[in-house]
Amino acid sequence: MRSKLLFVLIFLGVGSETLMSQQIDLLLEEQMVALERDVVRIYNEQQKFLRQDFRSDNELLAFESLITIYVDEILSLYDTFWRIRGTTLETQQNIAARCLIFRALTYLERTKQHKQNYTKACEDYKKALRFAQNESREPLLNTRLPHEVWVGRKLYTRLADLLDDRGKNFQMIACFQITDGLAKSGGEK
Amino acid sequence: MNKTCHYMILAFSLVSFQHAYGQPVSALYDEIQETYRNKEYTRTVDLCQQILSRCAESVPDVECRFTDVMKSVFRLKGFAEYQIYLENRDMATLDAAIISLERSYELFGDPEIAFNFGYMESLRAIEMKDGACLDGLVHAWQGMLGLYAKNDWQVSQELVDKIRVFINQAVELTITPPETAMTNGLFTSFMVRLACDLGEKGQISKEDSLFFRIYRQRAVEDEFNLRGNEWRARGFSAEKDLNSFPDDYNYRETRRNLELAYKHAKSTQRQAEMLKELTKVALFMEKEGRNAHPEAELQYAREKAQQAYNLLVDRGSDISLSLANEVKRVYGNAIFRLVNYYFSFADSTNRLNAYARAKRIGEELLVPAGRYGKKQKFVWDGYEDLYLRLSEIGYEIGDKIFAVDMVDKAWKASLNSNGLSQGQLCRELDYEKAAELLPFARVYRQIAERFGLQPVLHWLKPIIRCIADSARAYQTTQKGA
């Protein structure tokens, strides 16, 4: 009788621990999704700003710093998942990868003024591709984005199309053949 | 004796040196916390400086390697320097406070510290009138996001208070400097929207909810133009003060805010609205203001109303119908009041000169109509009075064509605005309308008499009789009541 009670208690203890850990996972994942939404909002806002005549480097830098804060927060959540589970889910990998690409695109807006931004963009892009590397599924760049991205009056629903915009894909491809000269020129073709 | 004295001084110096520099870091650290608690901020900074000097030595105390100790030293130094800044308002002290807190943040990464030095950076930018410095907002936001994450993604009241501080600073920053803002304010507008979203995630009081709603609206209106919206809000608020106390200070304040709102407006609708408001304010000041300068206010009102009307002509489709009507009304009113102003000068100064000026102003609203005549550019509430005044000017200066044209238009306009037809005038006329028509009919008769328009007099006679009868009856009833 006593051993049965002990068994039930152990079972309940293990069960509640699993439930609690699942709840924490869920909360963290919810936050990742919310933060990704904010990253896209910031990117959209920055694009809206770029469309205006009056271009200020301070504001571009502020948008860049803001998106960096969010992406760092997402990467820290991603690391937390990795530390808890020893692995990460596809959704978490995709969120981290997409946000890194958005940050890379944000960096590209200021390569003329700050040459080192191109190196940063390349680092983010390469890291994003590493996160999304999985041969068994459709490439991340071709999948549909969870949030709408507006550049001017054009709506983008895939990262591949967004990268094609204004030849950014060439700049990103150039990251893989990077030489000192390219890095200096900001990857412009 | 001399030697003894020398030794005594040496011994005293040694004791003092021992007291200041001989204490271990741990003792100094305890003392810092004590002095900060006792609000001895200068002493706190001094002691922190001593610790930092000790830690920079080749063989520092072991405490210098403890992150917890060093981050607190920088934190307390930063806060103490900030308190000193609040007393002496010396920017160098504020700079020192920011650097200290940044060092503390580098050591530990406490989001609370990030918020604080972000706040101080924005404060510095506001004080220095450097609206392009947005680092403070970014750092403060980093701190708030960190606090939100630290609190298990829950929004506490403490965070709500910080968000309110953040929004207030963002608004101040977006309107700094007032005349020549360097950035376009889109970033701050976005930050305010982001902050409102974060604030509304928590259980908030009615007051907080209202605060967030108002600021989101300000950030969103007029194509996300927080700067323009803020000046508009400040302008309207100053206008309320002006209405209750119409002195020169309130007037200047209202005008300045509304002019800035106009300057930073992004849409035609907003530009027209601000110009209309400026006209209204100037007209109000001319009528009710203490120590007002009537001519200057009326000329200003006329200029602003004219600009608003030009917008209406050029880009009318961008302006709502109700605003368009208001613009016409204030423009007409401004011209009418200015005409009246110069007309009233005829008693005291050069008569003809005063009438000529009044006529010139009035003609601003006139456009050719038909072969000889002129009509007003638009119909507005009170346009018949302007016609009447212009006809009187024509009468005074002896310009027959102008006077007759204007009085005819005035008569028709007064019939039109009272909803009457000339043919059935005496049958339809009630008392009130008769009282309104009477001055028109009298001026018409005066002009007809002066310029010898016999057929007009013949036609006008019965009309005046029936109007006068009705009006007299009205006046009698009014007196009886």
pLDDT by residue for chain B (481 residues), tens only, comes to 455 555 555 444 444 444 445 678 889 999 999 999 999 999 999 999 999 998 888 777 788 888 889 999 999 999 999 999 999 999 999 999 999 999 999 999 999 999 999 999 999 999 999 999 999 999 999 999 999 999 999 999 999 999 999 999 999 999 998 888 778 889 999 999 999 999 999 899 999 999 999 999 999 999 899 999 999 999 999 999 999 999 999 999 999 999 999 999 999 999 999 999 999 999 999 999 887 789 999 999 999 999 999 999 999 899 999 999 999 999 999 999 999 999 988 776 677 888 999 999 999 999 998 877 899 999 999 899 999 999 999 999 999 999 999 999 999 999 888 888 777 777 767 777 788 888 898 999 999 999 988 888 888 888 888 887 776 766 666 655 5
**Any CB–CB contact under 8 A between A43 and chain B?**
no
Tell me the CA distances in angstroms from B431 to B233, B385, B470, one per residue in order.
Answer: 45, 19, 5
DSSP-assigned beta bridge partners for residue B368: B374
Rounded to whole angstroms, the Cα distance separating B461 from B368 reads 30
Reading the block at residue B471, the tokens are 């009006």
Is residue B47 within 8 Å of residue B31, measured between CB atoms? yes
Quote the pLDDT of residue B300. Answer: 96
Quote the minimal CA–CA distance from B76 to chain A in Å: 26
Quote the pLDDT of residue A152. Answer: 81
Q: Which domain holds residue B207?
A: 110-224
Quote the minimal CA–CA distance from A64 to chain B in Å: 10
**Any CB–CB contact under 8 A between B183 and chain A?**
yes
Predicted TM-score (pTM) of the model is 0.84
Last residue of a domain, one of B85, B108, B131: B108
Q: What separation, in Å, do the N-terminal and C-terminal C-alpha atoms of chain A show?
A: 79
Quote the pLDDT of residue B1. Answer: 46
Is residue A112 within 8 Å of residue A49, measured between CB atoms? no
Quote the minimal CA–CA distance from A188 to chain B in Å: 27
In chain B, how many domains are there? 3
Rounded to whole angstroms, the Cα distance separating B233 from A189 reads 48
Quote the minimal CA–CA distance from B438 to chain A in Å: 58
Tell if the CB–CB gap between A62 and B187 is shorter than 8 Å.
yes
Which residues of chain A does B141 touch, with a Cβ-Cβ cutoff of 8 Å? 66, 69
Chain A / chain B CB contacts < 8 angstroms = 51
B272 in any annotated domain? no
Quote the pLDDT of residue A21. Answer: 67
> What is the residue-wise DSSP string for A63-80?
HHHHHHHHHHHHHHHHHH
Question: What is the residue extent of each domain of chain A?
Answer: 2-185
* Sequential pLDDT tens for chain A (189 residues): 566 655 555 555 555 566 666 778 888 889 999 999 999 999 999 998 888 756 678 899 999 999 999 999 999 999 998 888 887 788 889 999 999 999 999 999 888 888 899 999 999 999 999 988 876 677 888 889 999 898 888 899 999 999 888 788 888 888 887 555 545 555 444
**Any CB–CB contact under 8 A between B33 and chain A?**
no
**Any CB–CB contact under 8 A between B91 and chain A?**
no
Domain check: are B365 and B472 in the same one? yes
**Which residue of chain A comes nearest to B225, CA vs CA?**
A49
The phi and psi torsions of B464 (rounded to 5 degrees) equal: -60, -40
Domain check: are B377 and B465 in the same one? yes
Each residue's pLDDT tens digit, B132-156: 999 999 999 999 999 999 999 999 9
Place of tokens 């944000």: A106
Each residue's pLDDT tens digit, B32-61: 999 999 999 999 999 999 999 988 887 777
ipTM over 0.90: no
Reading the block at residue B82, the tokens are 């900030």
- For residue B90, the tally of other CB atoms under 10 A from its CB is 12
Say which residues have a Cβ less than 8 Å from residue B75's Cβ, sequence separation at least 6: B100, B101, B104, B110, B113
Mean pLDDT of chain B: 89
Say which residues have a Cβ less than 8 Å from residue B355's Cβ, sequence separation at least 6: B342, B343, B346, B393, B396, B397
Reading the block at residue B246, the tokens are 């119409």
Which residues of chain A does B191 touch, with a Cβ-Cβ cutoff of 8 Å? 66
The phi and psi torsions of B375 (rounded to 5 degrees) equal: -135, 165
Quote the pLDDT of residue B242. Answer: 95
Quote the pLDDT of residue B15. Answer: 43
- For residue B256, the tally of other CB atoms under 10 A from its CB is 16
- For residue B248, the tally of other CB atoms under 10 A from its CB is 13
Tell me the CA distances in angstroms from A152 to A45, A51, B256, one per residue in order.
Answer: 10, 7, 34
Burial of A62 per CB tally in 10 Å (0-12, 13-18, 19+) = buried
> What is the residue-wise DSSP string for B309-352?
HHHHHHHGGGS-HHHHHHHHHHHHHHHHHHHHHHHHGGGTS-HH
A52, A56, A73: residue with CB nearest B132: A56
- Burial track B443-466 (b if 16+ CB lie within 10 A, e otherwise): bbbebbeebebeebeeebeebbee
Tell if the CB–CB gap between A69 and B141 is shorter than 8 Å.
yes
Quote the minimal CA–CA distance from B186 to chain A in Å: 7
**Any CB–CB contact under 8 A between B220 and chain A?**
no
- B:116-145 residues touching chain A, CB 8 A cutoff: 132-135, 137-138, 141-142, 145
Tell if the CB–CB gap between A56 and B183 is shorter than 8 Å.
yes
Rounded to whole angstroms, the Cα distance separating A72 from A80 reads 12
Report strand pairing: B366-368 vs A144-151: unpaired
Mean pLDDT of chain A: 83
Tell if the CB–CB gap between A41 and B194 is shorter than 8 Å.
yes
Reading the block at residue A185, the tokens are 């020129």
B27 in any annotated domain? yes
Reading the block at residue B331, the tokens are 């423009």
Each residue's pLDDT tens digit, B275-325: 999 999 999 999 998 877 899 999 999 999 999 999 999 998 999 999 999
Is residue B264 within 8 Å of residue B181, measured between CB atoms? yes
Rounded to whole angstroms, the Cα distance separating B99 from B93 reads 10
Tell me the CA distances in angstroms from A155 to A97, A98, A146, A171, B130, one per residue in order.
Answer: 20, 17, 13, 21, 36
Is residue B200 within 8 Å of residue B212, measured between CB atoms? yes
Quote the minimal CA–CA distance from B432 to chain A in Å: 57
Q: What separation, in Å, do the N-terminal and C-terminal C-alpha atoms of chain B show?
A: 111
Rounded to whole angstroms, the Cα distance separating B171 from B154 reads 25
Rounded to whole angstroms, the Cα distance separating B373 from B212 reads 57
Q: What is the residue type of B156?
A: S
Question: What secondary structure letter does DSSP report for A165?
Answer: G
**Any CB–CB contact under 8 A between A27 and chain B?**
yes
Say which residues have a Cβ less than 8 Å from residue B76's Cβ, sequence separation at least 6: B32, B33, B36, B44, B48
Question: What secondary structure letter does DSSP report for A127?
Answer: H
B229 in any annotated domain? no
Rounded to whole angstroms, the Cα distance separating A125 from A188 reads 16
Question: What secondary structure letter does DSSP report for A113?
Answer: T
Tell if the CB–CB gap between B145 and A73 is shorter than 8 Å.
yes
